[in-house]
């Protein structure tokens, strides 16, 4: 089993537990439009690596990261292995030259009742796509959270909604996915 790996696979990684939901629109009671972090992800071609730049609403770069996120075959839909390496601007620029598929989104904090969500509003060719994510400390805690009323449906296990697949979509591809879920 993965956790008994003698090579110590998880030494620098963490198990991330999250659920993802598809939204038709931003929740009506969400605070103003200026409280967000802009995220630009580049999925490096031929790898499981993601280069991430996080920016303020004014466009100032705040954080640069190189990450690896994947789901081993024996994991549940809401579990992944995540490893992050924080970079300086020079390191980021060197890795950015490798190229890959890119997506951009604005991430808003959103609290509904006792739960804190991250609302992602996608940009450019993914404009019109809005998702919400919630992380849990334990499987029991996470699975006990009901699908929020502001969501259309849960898409946690749907590979069409993972970042690398979304980054490769055209507007036509996104429209097909959204239409299949009742969003025109």
Q: In CATH, what number is assigned to the domain containing residue 113?
A: 2.40.320.10
- Token pair for residue 80? 């992944």
Per-residue pLDDT at 1: 43
C-alpha 1: how far from its chain's center? 27
- Taking the model in full, what pTM does it have? 0.91
Confirm whether 94 is domain-assigned.
yes
Whether residue 182 contacts residue 151, with contact meaning beta carbons closer than 8 Å, is answered with no
**What total number of domains does the chain contain?**
1
What is the per-residue pLDDT for 124?
Answer: 95
Give me the residues paired with residue 85 across strands: 66
Torsional sign, CA 73, 76, 78, 83: negative
Report if residue 5 sits inside a domain: no
Residue 1 resides in a domain? no
* Residue 2 belongs to a domain: no
Please tell me the predicted confidence (pLDDT) of residue 5.
56
**Spans of the chain, pLDDT less than 70:** 1-9, 137
Range of the domain at 162: 14-180
Q: Is residue 64 part of a domain?
A: yes
| Predicted local confidence at residue 76, as pLDDT | 87
| Burial classification of residue 72, based on how many CB atoms lie within 10 Å of its CB (0-12 exposed, 13-18 middle, 19 or more buried) | middle
């Amino acid at each position: 089993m993965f956790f008994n790996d003698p090579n110590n696979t998880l030494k620098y990684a963490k198990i991330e537990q999250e659920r993802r939901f598809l939204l038709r629109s931003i929740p009506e009671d969400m605070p103003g439009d200026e409280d967000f972090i802009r995220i630009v992800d580049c999925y490096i071609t031929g790898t499981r690596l993601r280069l991430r730049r996080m920016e303020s609403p004014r466009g100032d770069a705040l954080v640069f990261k190189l990450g690896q996120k994947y789901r081993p075959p024996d994991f549940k839909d809401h579990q992944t292995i995540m490893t992050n390496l924080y970079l300086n601007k020079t390191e980021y620029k060197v890795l950015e030259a490798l190229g890959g598929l890119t997506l951009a989104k604005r991430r808003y904090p959103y609290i509904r009742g006792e739960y804190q969500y991250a609302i992602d509003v996608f940009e450019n060719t993914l404009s019109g796509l809005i998702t919400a994510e919630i992380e849990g400390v334990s499987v029991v805690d996470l699975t006990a959270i009901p699908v929020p009323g502001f969501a259309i449906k849960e898409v946690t296990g749907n590979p069409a909604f993972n970042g690398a697949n979304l980054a490769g979509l055209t507007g036509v591809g996104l429209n097909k996915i959204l239409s299949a879920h009742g969003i025109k």
